[in-house]
Amino acid sequence: MKKNLVVGAGFSGAAIANLIAENLNEEVVVIDKKDHVAGNSYDYRDKNGIMIHKYGSHIFHTNSEKVWAFLKKFTDFNTYMHEVVGIIDGIEAQIPFNFNTLYQVFPETMAKRMEEKLLRAFEYNTKVPILEFQKQDDEDLKFLANYVYEKIFLNYTTKQWGVSPKEVDGAVTARVPVYLSKDNRYFQDKYQGIPRKGYTKVVERMLDHKNIKVKLNTEFKGVECFDRVFFTGSIDEFFNYKYGMLPYRSVNFKFEEYDREFYQSHACINYPNNYDFTRIHEYKHYLQDKSDKTVIAKEYSEFFELGKNERYYPIASKENAELYAKYLKEAEELDNVYFLGRLGDYKYYNMDAAIERAINLFEEIR
């Protein structure tokens, strides 16, 4: 029987482990240096019965039938559709900026005038990245674009990435485009929701297989003794940082408990222009947990430092892409060692993209 090692028990590692154990009937050892599975999607019920996302809000959404069908084997989802508001000049305003936001932040006559101009300039229901949206000739629309840039993107992005929106990769801010629509949802995917029993349970179920052995609190020591190795840690770590460290952004959550039913109107409220945190998460909204207490987390962004905090976000830049390419070249020369996941591929994957990558890799090797 072939023996596989999977390094990392997050979604990517658990998915590839499950696919191999189930379809190839091979042995899989899954190791993780943390004391729990599920990586950064780890959640748990606290003493109040509230499901806490330890490493920040995770909202599952996908258009992929393949990914949805795979996940449905391990969980049901509720029908939660994520909506985000941002505090803009003291007003709770819909994010992404859409036609409803226009009426929330501007006087009605002004909003109407801009709405008419927008409908002439753009197709209804299209999404326009902010840096694209700023290319306007009309004075009203130029004013609007600068308003959205300054009030929603400039300070949030500076807090989150340490640089202005013009200096981060365009794909990052394009995740939250200006949306010429009345759709208030953060995601438009066909399938979205929160696993009814939480993300940790989903991963536990993926790993609950007679051919899979999970070892927590276990460091990766080497590829010897295994026929194949799947590495979901950071690719530079695998190679002992021989070309230098791939940079990441990290986040730090400050948890607070309140003796009242709700703290805020939405699961996630962004604070682009105020305070040092980027957003506040209130967890009980996700699974409609009942408690007369509530728990929130304020999210502070910082650089990743080895040994101090966790890797969360690969930083897309030309320099980092070149550094990653050096590691990738080394990786391609290895037989039977595969890299995947946000850290293994150094890509800002959403959960569904991480799972899709694991499924596709499995199809390649089977």
Write the binding mask 137 to 156 for ligand UDP: x where contact by CB under 6 A, - elsewhere.
---------------xx--x
Cα 274 to chain centroid distance, Å, stands at: 23
- Residue nearer to ligand UDP on the CB measure, 198 or 272: 272
Give the footprint of ligand UDP on residues 263-292 (CB under 6 A).
Answer: 270, 272
**Member of 13, 86, 193, 195 binding ligand UDP (CB under 6 A):** 86
Nearer to ligand UDP, 8 or 96 (CB): 96
Distance CA 67, CA 354 (A): 10
Q: Compute CA 33 distance to the chain's CA centroid, rounded to the nearest angstrom.
A: 21
Asked if 351 is part of the footprint of ligand UDP (rule: CB under 6 A), the reply reads no
Q: Does 121 bind ligand UDP (CB under 6 A)?
A: no
Q: Does 215 bind ligand UDP (CB under 6 A)?
A: no
User: Which DSSP string corresponds to 2-35?
Assistant: -EEEEE--SHHHHHHHHHHHHHT--EEEEE-SSS
Which residue, 1, 2, 7, 4, is CA-closest to 231? 7
In the complex, what is the shortest distance from the CB of residue 38 to ligand UDP, in angstroms, rounded to a whole number? 17
Check residue 95 for interaction with ligand UDP (CB under 6 A).
yes
Binding of residue 175 to ligand UDP (CB under 6 A)? yes
Q: How far is the CB of 161 from ligand UDP (least distance, A)?
A: 6
Q: Is 166 in the site for ligand UDP (CB under 6 A)?
A: no
Q: Look up residue 334 and give its two tokens.
A: 């290895």
Measured in whole angstroms, the distance separating CA 102 from the mean position of its chain's CA atoms is 27
- Which one of residues 12, 40, 157, 294 is an interface residue with ligand UDP (CB under 6 A)? 157
| Contact window for ligand UDP (CB under 6 A) among 15-23, 100-108, 171-179, 230-238 | 171-179
| 3 state SS of 87 | strand
Q: Which residue is nearest to ligand UDP (CB)?
A: 156
Which residues are CB-neighbours of 176 under 8 A, at least 6 positions away? 95, 96, 152, 186
Answer for which of 160, 200, 232, 294 binds ligand UDP (CB under 6 A) is 160
Q: Rounded CA gap, 208 and 212, in Å? A: 7
**Please, are residues 187 and 62 in contact by the beta-carbon 8 Å criterion?**
no
What residue ranges bind ligand UDP (CB under 6 A)? 86, 95, 152-153, 156-157, 160, 172-173, 175-176, 270, 272
